[in-house]
Amino acid sequence: MSSKFQKLIFCLYFLCFALTIVDAVTITLQDCLKQVQGKKVFPNDAEYSQDIIDENTRISYDPAAIVYASSTNDVQISVKCATTLKIGVTARSGGHSYENYCLGGRNGILVVDMTDLNNINIDSKKKTAVIGAGNRLGTIYNTLSKSGFLIPAGSCPSVGMGGHSLGGGYGLYGRKFGLASDNILSIDMVNANGDLITANANKNSDLFFALRGAGGGSYGIVTEITFKLSPTPSTVTSFSFDYELSNIQSAFNALNRLGSGIPAEVTMSLSISQNTAQIVGVYLGPSASARSVLANFIKSSSPTGTQFFEESFFSSVVRWGYQGVQGTINPTHHPNSFKAKSFFVGSPGLTSAGVKALTNFISTIQCSTFAETDLIGGGAVNSIAANETAFVHRDSLYMIQLYTTLTGDESTDKTCLSKLASFGVSFQQKFTSFFSYQNYIDRDLKDWQHRYYGSNFGKLVNVKNKYDPKNVFNFPQSIPLSAS
């Protein structure tokens, strides 16, 4: 073969290669997403500004596009487009990420909204349900309860099951039934190659470990989750105990001393605001039994008033679903501007100095602030080893969420955020454990890798390298490729 002919062949090959690169680069996102059957929203569309409003208006990002996936295939196409065009991609199941990571945590991300992946298929004989990742908690509770079943999860009806259960998922039935993630049997996920894979105890078990507690967006886009179901009790009793703010120490004393010994049929939460203090909870049984079981706690904590409501299981869901109205569940969320901190507290519980520090902070900060303390100790969450799933916070007595709503005044809000940040660091150093809750994600948290995941973090990094080695799925606090 002559040298001139060889050169010609080389030039033609190079030209074809170069044109291929140019074609790949010039493919627009709109062109790439043409095969998606679900609705697509781009920055120039009229509904774009409304569609990017999620739970927390304190921060916002501008996605490259929002795809409302109508099928698993839509999710796969979206992921492949993102990898081809080298843009970030993330899932949004309910829009409740405290730092709006459901929009990617930065501008220019392709958001795959899972709202329309809302199938709920119940197998009453096997006591399982396959639930689409876009379902909201209120809808799930309602649908399952009509068939006589439940899964434990949070109280806010508009929260998306995908993010909630993949980060843990604690709620008012957790001491009896555990976390939402503890009740997962199998997970279907679209990986970085756009392939649909399954993770369970027998298949991709390392990924199954990671997704139950650290799966909120770090490894792929989860499309369906199979849950173990539990039968709903024939009767439950909701209760509320009111306390004077000046006597809130007695409520903490009772939680510290008696909390772990209270039967697992009881789950309760102590809320403290700038004006009120109240314990609310649910007992899985009739009112007479609830009163008997809680008699010692009431005597020890000295509430100013007590109320018991014997009702159906779903009525209790509606009662404590703070965005619902009696008899209904409102699946929509109502955004506001806020910042939150979280703390896990082990036995013997918060000291009197810790209680005083917490109540003083709430009463003096300029922005509306409350603390919610969820009793965990003595229940199903404690019964699972810390290394069995990615959720490491297994030895806690209770978890505290500190939630500050901002005013809209720039100067006031800046002061509130500064005070909250300083208090969070000091409070955790002096009075609580090292750990925080990944579902109450906090962009400002130092050493979040270990505060969220503890001794499991190294294993989570290894799983990340195996299933997403190019870090396609990433946001500011996603599982990284390096433990350092």
Each domain of the chain, given as residue ranges in start order, spans: 25-113, 120-232, 236-447
Give me the long-range contacts of 409-418 (CB less than 8 A, separation at least 24).
412/366, 412/367, 413/337, 413/367, 415/366, 416/339, 416/365, 416/366, 416/367, 417/339
Geometric angle at alpha carbon 434, from 432 and 439, rounded to 5°: 95
Position 468, amino acid:
D
E strands present in 166-253 = 184-190, 196-200, 221-228, 230-231, 236-243
Number of H helices, E strands in the chain: 15, 18
Q: Give the Å distances, CA to CA, from 33 to 41, 46, 70, 313.
A: 11, 19, 13, 43
pLDDT on residue 484: 80
Does domain 236-447 fall under CATH 3.40.462.20? My reply is yes
Query: Sign of the CA dihedral 61, 62, 64, 66?
Result: positive
CATH of domain 120-232: 3.30.465.10
Task: Determine the pLDDT at residue 335.
Answer: 83
Residue 334's identity, in one-letter code, is: H
Q: Peptide bond before 348: cis, by omega within 30 degrees of 0?
A: yes
Which residue carries 């965005």 as its tokens?
A: 323
Which helix (H) or strand (E) is 89 found in, with range?
strand 89-92
> Per residue of the chain (484 residues), what is the pLDDT tens digit?
555 545 444 444 444 443 344 344 346 999 999 999 999 999 999 999 999 999 899 999 999 999 999 999 999 999 999 999 999 999 999 999 999 999 999 999 999 999 999 999 999 999 999 999 999 999 999 999 999 999 999 999 999 999 999 999 999 899 999 999 999 999 999 999 999 999 999 999 999 999 999 999 999 999 999 999 999 999 999 999 999 999 999 999 999 999 999 999 999 999 999 999 999 999 999 999 999 999 999 999 999 999 999 999 999 999 998 543 334 455 555 689 999 999 999 999 999 999 999 999 999 999 999 999 999 999 999 999 999 999 999 999 999 999 999 999 999 999 999 999 999 999 999 999 999 999 999 999 999 999 999 999 999 999 999 999 999 999 999 999 999 8
Give pLDDT, residue 2.
Answer: 54
Q: Judge contact between 103 and 51, C-beta under 8 A.
A: no
pTM: 0.92
Q: Quickly name the fold that domain 25-113 has.
A: 3.30.43
